[in-house]
Amino acid sequence: MTATLERGLNALREQIDAPVASFFTSCVSCGLCAEACIFYRETEDPKYTPIHKLELMRRIWSNEFTLLGRLKSMVGLGRKVTEQDLKDWEELVYDSCTMCGRCTMVCPVGNDLAMMIRKMREGMSGSGHAPVELIGAAERHSDYGSPMGELHPALHAQIKHAETETGIPIEMNKEGADYLVILSAGEIRDYPEVIGAMAKIFKQAGITWTISDDGFEATNVGIQLGNRDVARTLVSKVVEAAEKLKVKGIISPECGHAYQALRWEGPNLIGRSYDFEVVHIIELLDRLRAEGKLKTKGKASGKITFHDPCQINRRGGINREPRNLLNMVADDFVETEDAGTMNWCCGGGGGVGANERAADLRFKAFNRKKRQFDAVGAEKIVTMCAYCHHTLEEQLELHGDEETEVIGLAEMIGEYLDDEA
Amino acid sequence: MNNPYFDLLMWARGPGFDIALTIMVGGILLRVVEILVLGRKRDLATAKGSPVGQGVKTIFTRSFPRKGLVPFAPITYIGGYIFHIGFAIAFLFLGAHIALIDGLLGLSWPAANRAIVESATALAVIALFALLYTRITDPVRRALSTFGDYLVWLLSLLPLVLGYVAVNKLFGDPTLMMALHILSAEALMVAFPFTKLMHAVTFLMARYYNGSIQGRKGAES
Ligand code: SF4
Ligand code: SF4
């Protein structure tokens, strides 16, 4: 057995806990999880059945964590996991799963399949079987602080730009601010308008905020790759920046997995609870709305629909908030079929969007979203994750749609903010 | 006393049953402990919702299908419900079964009339065949199914069919049929802890964990 195989298997073993064992024990092979999965539904290929994607982890559990399996192993029965198996499963675990969690919602016995995929990726990456793009991004992130390389100059330029646009000064590295704002690399590069929007909104609400040079990058490739060490390093940077500046909270930006990484996995990665709050930007905006501190003027005309990012709604519990906000600024807000908790994934999450090999599959998966958007005839799609935003734009174009506009919710609120209020 | 199958029936009702019950109860305990000892790390993220409350709630709510999904797997859903409910009625509301449970646990309740129990049995058997049909013909289910899945199917079918045959004296020697019915139920009991039949116990844990993981985040489950 090679060292990497052994390392991968050990990483898998470490992931098996009581919930995982109860899930594997309970599976009745009913196949219902397949019906929930966008990759199965758009291809009808049985290999994309969620529980099948977990077969290698199931085998290890069965061989080593059950009485019967251990007895079988003793007499040489029970299928072992080989190097070839890991190679074969790489596509299933990384290319055809966005960890969207739809399967988790339908399994009749209650299996949290998405959580198990997240765990299985620890073993896959431990044995070196992960997409090169994610491995590369993890290396860049460790070396330069962002999966897109060195972003400091771009960040500073965008902040300067936002200051000029809004006339509101943005103080970097400000100790004692209410909130530390972090951003996803995608926002800094492609959707920097959100910075100006926040400046205006927070000024109106009387909130002080800052951005830190030490920890401004919210994305966390360690979560997508399935590498706890990388994930921990990246979360630590942000946590340390917040502690150094003594802020009351961190605002998690419009980025799905960044919210999972910092809000839910973070404390477990670093081994302690935070003594500051982590709040998603949309959660915070809705709170300000409820407190009467968010005032908008006018409404966007035309049909507008909303795309729920899986990690923020289904896996993050932020469901009503964006709808409350959207109703403030949209005249004709229509929901697509299955919107809300059971929304379909854009197909780009969980690292799938960065994975070249998955391009065709991603295109196919998006057919469903395209049909749903077409059915409501939306002129504009609003979302609350920069990566969904990017995927929606990319896929709409690939599907021949150059008309439909995509926009982030915070940016849109900024556009309609009542400056005189 | 001349019936040659009488001894077999007596063995099935006596020592056979005791052995099967011991293996089943001991096995289930062992399997449950085997899961629980793996433990789970305390979650250090500050909860937004109620992990425990939602865990418990999900044990119940997950009994209903997610909206819009039934048309995509009608046989699995409808067959699944009919089988589980039919099996439960046949098992829990037949007078002889209640007497058995009363003897073991000192608990009893009124029996259902025979027509209900027999209809439930027949429906459960039909549902089992429908489920087998989709297991074999649907590419997803066929690919997922292992020997264990088919074994569990057979073990669930036999007590229903043999019980029906024995009670109605449809064919064969009634004493033999009754003995075979009991033996088939005992086979089911013995296999229970070591096959997917375990889901009938561990689904409580799985649903609880699912609900508690989602509930902590304030997300639905
Ligand atoms: S998490 Fe989503 S993409 Fe992954 S297997 Fe489940 S339904 Fe499919
Ligand atoms: S839905 Fe649940 S029980 Fe059914 S095959 Fe998938 S994991 Fe197993």
Which of A18, A35, A314 lies closest to B39 in CB terms?
A: A18
Model pLDDT for residues B148-173, shown as the tens digit of each residue: 999 999 999 999 999 999 999 999 99
User: Is the predicted pLDDT of residue A420 greater than 90, yes or no?
Assistant: no
Q: Does B80 touch chain A (CB under 8 A)?
A: yes
Q: What is the CATH number of domain A133-288?
A: 3.40.50.1860
Q: Please, what is the average pLDDT of chain A?
A: 95
* CATH 1.10.1060 assigned to A3-130: yes
Query: What torsion do the CA atoms of A22, B68, A36, A29 make, to the nearest 10 degrees?
Result: 50
Which tokens in the block code for residue A44? 């009808």
Cβ pair B138:A109 closer than 8 A: no
User: Is the predicted pLDDT of residue A352 greater than 70, yes or no?
Assistant: yes
B196 to chain A nearest CA, in Å? 6
pLDDT of residue A40: 98
Ramachandran region, residue A219 (left: φ > 0; alpha: ψ -120 to 50; beta: rest): beta
User: Is the predicted pLDDT of residue A144 greater than 90, yes or no?
Assistant: no
**Average pLDDT, integer, range B1-14:** 89
Matching CATH topology for A133-288 and A293-415? yes
Residue of B nearest to A69 (CA): B194
Rounded to whole angstroms, how far apart are CA atoms B145 and A284? 47
Cβ pair A112:B210 closer than 8 A: yes
Model pLDDT for residues A274-324, shown as the tens digit of each residue: 999 999 999 999 999 999 999 999 999 999 999 999 999 999 999 999 999
Cβ pair B45:A112 closer than 8 A: no
pLDDT of residue A4: 87
pLDDT of residue A182: 97
CA of A170 to the centre of ligand 1 (A): 40
Cα dist from A98 to A118, A130, A314, A349, whole Å: 10, 14, 13, 5
Cβ pair A17:B146 closer than 8 A: no
A49 to chain B nearest CA, in Å? 7
Transcribe A176-242 into DSSP letters: T-SEEE-B-HHHHHT-THHHHHHHHHHHHHT--EEB-SSS-B---HHHHHT-HHHHHHHHHHHHHHH
pLDDT of residue B1: 54
A229 to chain B nearest CA, in Å? 17
Proportion of chain B above pLDDT 70, given as a percent: 99
Model pLDDT for residues A81-116, shown as the tens digit of each residue: 999 999 999 999 999 999 999 999 999 999 999 999
Mutate which of A28, A37, A105, A116 for ligand 2 pocket (most atoms within 8 A of beta carbon): A28
Window 322-341 of A, Cβ < 8 Å to B: 338, 341
Cα dist from A165 to A158, A181, A192, A194, A294, whole Å: 10, 19, 12, 12, 20
Q: Which atom of ligand 1 is nearest to the CA of A310?
A: 2
Model pLDDT for residues A221-255, shown as the tens digit of each residue: 999 999 999 999 999 999 999 999 999 999 999 99
Window 39-98 of A, Cβ < 8 Å to B: 40, 44, 46-47, 49, 51-52, 65-68
Proportion of chain B above pLDDT 90, given as a percent: 98
Which residues on chain A are in Cβ contact (under 8 Å) with B80? 30, 108
Residue of B nearest to A105 (CA): B221
ipTM value for the complex:
0.96
User: Could you give the angle at the alpha carbon of B75 between the alpha carbons of B69 and B77, nearest 5°?
Assistant: 50
Residue of A nearest to B66 (CA): A106
Sheet of strand A179-181: strand arrangement = A209-210, A179-181, A249-252, A277-280
> Do A378 and A304 touch, CB atoms closer than 8 A?
yes
Q: Where are the domains of chain A?
A: 3-130, 133-288, 293-415
- Least confident range of B1-10, B54-63, B204-213: B1-10
Rounded to whole angstroms, how far apart are CA atoms B69 and B47? 30
Q: Thinking of the domain A293-415, which architecture would CATH place it in?
A: 3-Layer(aba) Sandwich (3.40)
pLDDT of residue A143: 78
**Average pLDDT, integer, range A379-391:** 97
Rounded to whole angstroms, how far apart are CA atoms A83 and A2? 8
Model pLDDT for residues A168-209, shown as the tens digit of each residue: 999 999 999 999 999 998 899 999 999 999 999 999 999 999
Window 113-132 of A, Cβ < 8 Å to B: 115
Packing angle between helix A3-15 and helix A83-90, nearest 10 degrees? 70
Q: Where are the domains of chain B?
A: 1-38+168-221, 65-145
Mutate which of A27, A32, A37 for ligand 1 pocket (most atoms within 8 A of beta carbon): A37
